[in-house]
Amino acid sequence: MKLRNFLLSAITILLVWGCGNTKLEGDQASVANHSAKAKLFRERLEKSPSVLDDKDGNVIPSSDYKLSRKWEGNICKTVLTNTSDKVINPKEVIIFALEKHGINPESPVYGEGFQMLHQNGGTLAKHENRGSNSDKDHYRMKELRNIPTVYGLLNINVDEEENFMLGFTSCEKFIGRIAYDQKQMLIAVDAEGLALAPGESWNLEDFIFIDGENQGDLYDEMSDEIVKNHPAMKSEKMPIGWCSWYCYKEDITDEIMMKNLDIFAKKVPEMEYIQLDDGYQPYMGDWLDPNPAYGDVRKTIDGIAARGFKPAIWVAPFIAQKESRVFKEHPDWFVKGKDGKPLNSSSVTFGGWREGPWYCLDGTHPEVQAHLTHVIKTMREEWGVNYFKLDANYWGAIQDGAFYDKSATRIEAYRRGMEAILKGCDDQSVVLGCNAPIWPSLGLVTAQRTSADINRKWSNFRKLAIQNLSRCWQNEKVWDADPDCIVQTADSPFGGNPKEITKDEWFFHLTSIHAVGGFSLGSDKAELMTDEDFKILKKLLKPTGKGAKFKNSKLEVGVTDLGDTQYYYVFNWTEEPIDMDVELIKGAKLTDFWTEKEIGEFEGKYTVKQLAPHAAKLLVATKAEGQLGK
């Protein structure tokens, strides 16, 4: 501890004399475009020191390395070089160590999680987890210096008229992390304690700082920079259809599938994909082996095609249970623990939601890469499936394990595994990431789930709407967004009491799905759906293809602008009826999307009067016909 305090004091002194081991280069032109507050924050970034921690939390002497930071507009590119005559093993490469960030500690924030199920909210001073599966507690990932930590992106509503957006626009080798509290901010990459040899350099991940009034515009700029490093893979047409999971879970059979499809073929022939979601495999990991309890999966796939639909399948490519054939026959394929044996995932993180503890296939192993390619290629070429929901992807980037390639980070292990999967696909494949590490998946999937699992209760509808609307900026930009499934019937295999859900709450859920503009898959038992349910489902099977834009993290009023038509989304998250103003892009005729009732023609703004608690409005704006304000 004394050594750490001494080195931190020394770094502070070096900062005064020019940042010590940190070489500053930059393009100051973009600074002129910042607001006064943002210019001051940018100056704090540029003057801040860099610090390296080893895996034990000790500060690595600054004389052992050089970290160069070169600004190109709003992007900072960084390189770490070992300038000593010995190997160094940095764990935390803190690119910017701000002892005082100078931002109002009560500023609301939104920060990404490492894992799909986690997001961060609250304020700089008071962190809040969004979702019940946090990176720190559920997945047991250590925070940066024990302060709240986000991954990839942090947006700060510094005041009513301005947002700061900080983040990493690449994720090739390292995961970028931002830790903060009411006073300090640390911007870093996790180097995982890997060895950096004398004279060797690492290109770290690209960092961005931008500011503006509308967070939706900042997300557009962020996504534009991301796709420069990770070109987007997207489907030509947004997938629509039905998923078996939220009405049957893994207790599904070929007979049950066909019973539903016979109804769907008559009621909603416009469905495209039928997603068989779990239950067809004998064991987790043995995806190509038959499961007598299910029946013949090939027969199901043929039956889907015979009814005019396309088959989609669930597979968890990076995991296996110990009873599986792949685990018994190829123990050398798995990520290892400290004892050299396959790592039991529950010893370092959450061990899996079913048939655990799971063991994790090592994406750096050449034979594993060949296996992953073979599984997907077989399903595509021999089974006739070209839509793959890849679940449990996080376990492909598991922490605290030993990989076949000792020089690889967990980010590289995951990305190599995903690249092997893509070799089994073709240019028409739908590749959906689920329970995935968000930033490490950039450029490797055509689509990404943007929320936890849907469940038929208000608290879940609310939670998922926050998660999805916080990420709907990604839709059409970095990948297609999947907000999870549309549910309308009060029948749930997950318990609870769906009959307590009010009509307003059902439509709150449905409106949030439409706002994402992405995947639209129903997941109700066909026999329980009414004609009205089918009518609503058909409306949602025409997604906009674009995510709604929200001005700030309150997520109260959003808009999707399609040129001739705009969709306005109004959400009451409170427990009281409230008036809510909608700023109109242009004068327009407004219609209620769900009831199809014309409201009138307006310009400037429209006020939704006394919107009920837990309610939402979806307004369609089309060209005015000369009766504005009436």
**Do 389 and 246 fall into the same domain?**
yes
Q: In this structure, what DSSP letter does residue 426 have? A: -
Residue finishing a domain among 195, 229, 263: 229
Write down the pLDDT at residue 550.
Answer: 96
**Do 166 and 305 fall into the same domain?**
no
Per DSSP, the residues of 188-218 read EEE-TT--B-TT-EEE---EEEEEES-HHHH
Instruction: Give the CA distances from residue 351 to residues 218, 360, 398, in Å, rounded to whole numbers and listed in that order.
Output: 37, 10, 11
**Do 450 and 513 fall into the same domain?**
yes
Residue 585 lies in a domain: yes
Rounded CA-CA distance 386/446 in Å is 12
Q: How many domains does the chain have?
A: 3
Write down the pLDDT at residue 137.
Answer: 96
Q: How far is CA 213 from the centre of its chain?
A: 24
Write down the pLDDT at residue 24.
Answer: 53
Percent of the chain with pLDDT over 70: 94
**Do 62 and 179 fall into the same domain?**
yes
Rounded CA-CA distance 134/146 in Å is 15
Alpha helices in 479-614 (DSSP H): 503-516, 531-540
Residue 402 lies in a domain: no
Rounded CA-CA distance 280/580 in Å is 48
Residue 136 lies in a domain: yes
- Cβ atoms within 10 A of the Cβ of 212, count? 19
Calculate the CA dihedral of residues 52, 57, 58, 63 and round it to 10 degrees: -10
- Cβ atoms within 10 A of the Cβ of 134, count? 19
Angle in degrees, CA 510, 516, 520, rounded to 5: 60
**Do 79 and 174 fall into the same domain?**
yes
Q: Is the pLDDT of residue 400 over 90?
A: yes
Q: Is the peptide bond before 239 cis (omega within 30 degrees of 0)?
A: no
**Do 254 and 191 fall into the same domain?**
no
Exposed / middle / buried, residue 182 (Cβ in 10 Å: 0-12, 13-18, 19+): middle
Contact criterion met (CB below 8 Å) for 173 and 202: yes
Strands 65-72 and 22-25: parallel
Task: Please tell me which residue, 274 or 25, carries the higher pLDDT value.
Answer: 274
Write down the pLDDT at residue 236.
Answer: 87
Q: Give the DSSP H/E element, type plus range, for residue 2.
A: helix 2-16
**Do 532 and 568 fall into the same domain?**
no
Residue 172 lies in a domain: yes
Q: Give the DSSP H/E element, type plus range, for residue 361.
A: none
Contact criterion met (CB below 8 Å) for 517 and 547: yes
pLDDT in tens, 268-304: 999 999 999 999 999 999 999 999 999 999 999 999 9
Write down the pLDDT at residue 341.
Answer: 98
Stretch 73-93: mean pLDDT:
98
Residue type, position 299, single letter: K
**Do 138 and 18 fall into the same domain?**
yes
pLDDT in tens, 199-223: 999 999 999 999 999 999 999 999 9
Write down the pLDDT at residue 25.
Answer: 56
Residue 349 lies in a domain: no
Place of tokens 């190109």: 72
- Helix, strand, coil in percent for the chain, rounding step 5: 30, 30, 45
Domain of 587, CATH number, reads: 2.60.40.1180
Write down the pLDDT at residue 469.
Answer: 98
Contact criterion met (CB below 8 Å) for 63 and 84: yes
Exposed / middle / buried, residue 89 (Cβ in 10 Å: 0-12, 13-18, 19+): middle
Stretch 603-616: mean pLDDT:
98
Contact criterion met (CB below 8 Å) for 623 and 588: yes
Residue type, position 253, single letter: T
Q: Is the pLDDT of residue 625 over 90?
A: no
Joined together, the tokens standing for residue 569 give 């989304």
Rounded CA-CA distance 161/258 in Å is 54
pLDDT band for 131, please (50, 70, 90 cuts): confident
Write down the pLDDT at residue 381.
Answer: 98
Domain of 280, CATH number, reads: 3.20.20.70
Q: Which of 516, 535, 526, 418 is nearest to 467 (CA)?
A: 516
Write down the pLDDT at residue 33.
Answer: 80
Q: How far is CA 365 from the centre of its chain?
A: 26
pLDDT in tens, 156-170: 999 988 999 999 999
Percent of the chain with pLDDT over 90: 90
Residue finishing a domain among 188, 206, 229: 229
The mean pLDDT value of the chain amounts to 94
Residues facing residue 291 across a β-bridge: 295
Q: Is the pLDDT of residue 13 over 60?
A: no
Stretch 574-603: mean pLDDT:
97
Q: Is the pLDDT of residue 581 over 80?
A: yes
Residue 147 lies in a domain: yes
Write down the pLDDT at residue 31.
Answer: 62
Joined together, the tokens standing for residue 182 give 């009411």
Place of tokens 């393009």: 27
Rounded CA-CA distance 574/577 in Å is 8
Write down the pLDDT at residue 151.
Answer: 99
Stretch 561-585: mean pLDDT:
98
Residue 350 lies in a domain: no
Question: Going by C-beta distance under 8 Å and a sequence separation of 6 or more, which residues neighbour residue 16?
Answer: none
Angle in degrees, CA 412, 414, 419, rounded to 5: 90
Write down the pLDDT at residue 5.
Answer: 41
Residue 329 lies in a domain: no
**Do 539 and 563 fall into the same domain?**
no
pLDDT band for 7, please (50, 70, 90 cuts): very low
**Do 193 and 260 fall into the same domain?**
no
Exposed / middle / buried, residue 31 (Cβ in 10 Å: 0-12, 13-18, 19+): middle
Exposed / middle / buried, residue 406 (Cβ in 10 Å: 0-12, 13-18, 19+): exposed
Write down the pLDDT at residue 16.
Answer: 32
**Do 146 and 189 fall into the same domain?**
yes
Residue finishing a domain among 513, 547, 581: 547
Write down the pLDDT at residue 144.
Answer: 96
- Cβ atoms within 10 A of the Cβ of 269, count? 10
Stretch 458-464: mean pLDDT:
96
Residue type, position 328, single letter: K
Exposed / middle / buried, residue 1 (Cβ in 10 Å: 0-12, 13-18, 19+): exposed
**Do 538 and 503 fall into the same domain?**
yes
Domain that holds residue 607: 550-623
Rounded CA-CA distance 593/596 in Å is 5
Joined together, the tokens standing for residue 497 give 């009491």
Query: What is the widest separation between alpha-carbon atoms in the chain?
Result: 79
Write down the pLDDT at residue 257.
Answer: 94
